[in-house]
Structure 1
């Protein structure tokens, strides 16, 4: 099958390389040094799912019409990427693999003639050097749309992807998006401190802050009427427990999340963007919680503060020590 992958970074690069490995004809989009490296030496994958060099077609935009496409850009780049490739995406199934809550809705608006579905990648991968992607934690990818049963297009796309990496079509995809947003609560602290996600969740100084942001985020979702989906060992019951428990008890969930990440240091996608000198997705992660709270007439001060700290690091290029993070966040805890 001809498959297009728009945005061959950590997540998209993994999808592209694994689909190439099982025999699909894959074309990717990339830019700059990453594009040059893929053209010269192929897209190199290593880590949890093994090593493979994918000799794929690559350009800044898709050059041929695919039969199935994956949009894997950062959330802030999705609109421009979809518009640039819209002519080749009309009338096919387009899978939006993105963090946050807005990607699938945006794609559906921009591609009215296409079957747009969402995907949540729960594996962890790093793209820190041109042409190379490393899988640090293997896990499932979930596909669907809306809050009911998955559409047939999601079932079909999951079957194709499952031949390359564990993938499933799920009910209540909207609720699963919200659960993934809770999983992404681990992203801000590595971006602020420069430490791995495992280090921040293991820190007695930082873990209470991550727990506070998680509790706040879950409560925002509950106030918005969300029924959380079941992914990554989290579900509606567990997340409601987090929201209602004292913080010292609720910390058990971040600790379990840390255990599920395994031993390989996971920098998180937000820290990876900062290390490459690129804008991060923080406004679509913790910032999305703030926006949803405001839409419901409330606020989310812990998530707002963490969003601000990430922007401080982006602006200054200097990470903040755990002790200083605790000092700045203490008035909100």
Structure 2
């Protein structure tokens, strides 16, 4: 199968290496140092899925028409990347592999003749240097599309979603799902692990191990679930998280709710996970915070609510982006009201 991958960063590089290793004909897009590194030495993958060294075709844009496209750019770069590759992929099935809530809608708007799906990946990977990716946590990915099934009570993904999930599973486990919108919200809860590590410059594990910061992470997660409930979301099942468990979590005091980020930290293991937001900060690139914590703030406003914890975290991440230096934990605690202010 000819597979085009737009964006060969941490996840894009991981999928490129695994799909190439499985025998698919893969072409990737990259920019700057990443483009030069892949042209010269290919993509090197290490960590949880073993070692792989592949040499896919690479350019700033796709050079051949693929049978399937994976969009693995950061959320803020998706529209421009799709427009740049539009002539080559118009009408081709598109799988958007992104955080946040808007990726599939963006693809549908730019490519109205393409069948657009979304994939939620729980794989944790560090983009160690241009052309090199280390997988720190392996996990299944989840493929589906927002649409009528989740609103009409359907329980089965459509045939195309099943077929593409089966082909991708030749390289890495991909599970077809129906309630994709709900699963996006569950992944958004998981993504609340990103902001605090990026602000303080520690790994996700180190942040969760700190009781003060773990309380902030739990508060941002609880706020996200409460906003989702207000927006009428039925949370999808991912990695042991589902609608019933998350709704129960949203009713807990933070002293008990901290078990949620702690359980994620245990599943993550001990190999340091920087999180995608911190990786962007370290490379001097804009982060996805406006599509993660910022999405919670916007959805809260749409529901007539406030999301003060996530709003404060958005502001702090942007401060780190501008200054290029991390902040002490005390700044985080002060911005969200201190440990005693998180009820």
What TM-score results when the alignment is normalised by the length of structure 2? Answer: 0.95
Tell me the residue number matched to 1:173.
180
Give yes or no for contact 1:145–1:151 (8 Å, CA) kept in 2: no
Tell me the residue number matched to 1:324.
331
1:9-42 Cα distance to aligned partner (Å, 9 max, x none): 0001100110000111100000011111101011
Give yes or no for contact 1:122–1:139 (8 Å, CA) kept in 2: yes
How many angstroms does 1:329 deviate by?
2.1
**C-alpha distance in structure 2 between counterparts of 1:230 and 1:150, whole Å:** 14
1:55-74 matched pairs, under 5 angstroms: 55-74=55-74
Tell me the residue number matched to 2:52.
52
Give yes or no for contact 1:127–1:133 (8 Å, CA) kept in 2: yes
**C-alpha distance in structure 2 between counterparts of 1:152 and 1:16, whole Å:** 24
Give yes or no for contact 2:127–2:134 (8 Å, CA) kept in 1: yes
Give yes or no for contact 2:308–2:336 (8 Å, CA) kept in 1: no
Residues 1:203 and 2:217 are matched in the alignment: no
Q: Alpha carbon RMSD of aligned pairs, Å?
A: 1.0
Give yes or no for contact 1:3–1:24 (8 Å, CA) kept in 2: yes
**C-alpha distance in structure 1 between counterparts of 2:275 and 2:240, whole Å:** 18
Q: In structure 1, the residue corresponding to 2:85 is in which secondary structure?
A: helix
What is the aligned counterpart of 2:165 among 149, 158, 170? 158
Q: In structure 2, the residue corresponding to 1:26 is in which secondary structure?
A: strand
1:284-309 Cα distance to aligned partner (Å, 9 max, x none): 00000000001112110110000100
1:127-152 Cα distance to aligned partner (Å, 9 max, x none): 13111011110001100012243222
Residues 1:40 and 2:47 are matched in the alignment: no
Tell me the residue number matched to 1:294.
301
Tell me the residue number matched to 1:229.
236
Residues 1:272 and 2:265 are matched in the alignment: no
How many angstroms does 1:160 deviate by?
1.0
* Matched residues, number: 333
Tell me the residue number matched to 1:117.
117
1:239-293 Cα distance to aligned partner (Å, 9 max, x none): 1011101111111111101101111110000000000000000000000000000
How many angstroms does 1:317 deviate by?
1.1
**C-alpha distance in structure 1 between counterparts of 2:158 and 2:54, whole Å:** 30
How many angstroms does 1:157 deviate by?
1.3
**C-alpha distance in structure 1 between counterparts of 2:211 and 2:305, whole Å:** 29
How many angstroms does 1:181 deviate by?
0.3
Moved beyond 3 Å, runs of 4+: none
Which segments of 5 or more consecutive residues in structure 2 lack a partner in the other structure? Answer: none
Tell me the residue number matched to 2:145.
145
Residues 1:191 and 2:233 are matched in the alignment: no
How many angstroms does 1:106 deviate by?
1.0
Tell me the residue number matched to 1:254.
261
Q: In structure 1, the residue corresponding to 2:120 is in which secondary structure?
A: strand
Q: Which moved more, 1:154-163 or 1:219-228?
A: 154-163
1:77-112 Cα distance to aligned partner (Å, 9 max, x none): 000000011112122211000000000011111111
How many angstroms does 1:3 deviate by?
0.6
Tell me the residue number matched to 1:85.
85
